[in-house]
Amino acid sequence: MIRLGGQVTGFADAKMTRAGDFYEESIKDTGKMLEFYGDVIVMRHFQQGAPHEAAKWASIPVINGGAAVLGRDDIGSLAEGKCADLFAINLNRLDYAGALHDPVAASLLCAPQTVDVNIVGGKMVVEYGEPIRLNIQNLIKKHNLLADRLLNG
């Protein structure tokens, strides 16, 4: 998010958010409040179904940040030595025009030609839309040679 020019606002302590049952603030109220702080909410919450409930009320996308969404209990924790695979796409470009109402569908159905950020095994492999561990010119040369061999024998 930060590498795309955005900012992250988070809560280090669940007691700071007043969400859930600590102060008995509803998930609805939490979602409505958080929508004024950013363009998307990524929620990890101790209460089962909290991100889904927040998404009903927030006017911005809510992403379930926990592993339960995948039906897994062996992943989803933040601890030293763990890493994540993820990608980020800036939807504010022509490729995605008209698809902002459903960013997940847009990233799957709009046939993206590139991603802005891609992290695999905890290592950045694409940054600002460019592969950082790949020599593009050598790859283009190799593809052109193979195409020529295919066409001309």
The confidence band for 16, taking pLDDT boundaries of 50, 70 and 90, is low
| Cα separation, 58 vs 50, whole angstroms | 12
Ordered domains of the chain (ranges, CATH): 1-78 (3.40.50.1370), 83-153 (2.30.40.10)
- Per-residue pLDDT, averaged over 44-55, amounts to 78
The pairs formed by 27-32 with CB atoms below 8 angstroms and a separation of 24 or more are: 27/53, 27/54, 27/57, 28/53, 28/54, 28/56, 28/57, 30/54, 31/55, 31/56, 31/57, 31/58, 31/62, 32/57, 32/58
Q: Locate tokens 């008209």: which residue?
A: 98
Output the pTM of the full model.
0.41
- Per-residue pLDDT, averaged over 94-118, amounts to 75
What are the pLDDT digits (tens) for 19-42?
Answer: 545 556 788 887 888 788 777 887
Task: Provide the CA 62 distance to its chain's centre, in angstroms.
Answer: 11
Q: Which strand (E) or helix (H) includes residue 117?
A: strand 117-120
Q: What is the DSSP letter of 18?
A: T
| Cα separation, 49 vs 43, whole angstroms | 10
- Given a cut of 70, whether residue 13 has pLDDT beyond it is no
Q: Determine which of 36-50, 65-79, 99-113 has the lowest per-residue pLDDT on average.
A: 65-79
Q: Determine which of 52-61, 96-105, 139-148 has the lowest per-residue pLDDT on average.
A: 96-105
The confidence band for 146, taking pLDDT boundaries of 50, 70 and 90, is very high
Residue 125: its pLDDT value, please?
85
Structure tokens at 4: 């795309």
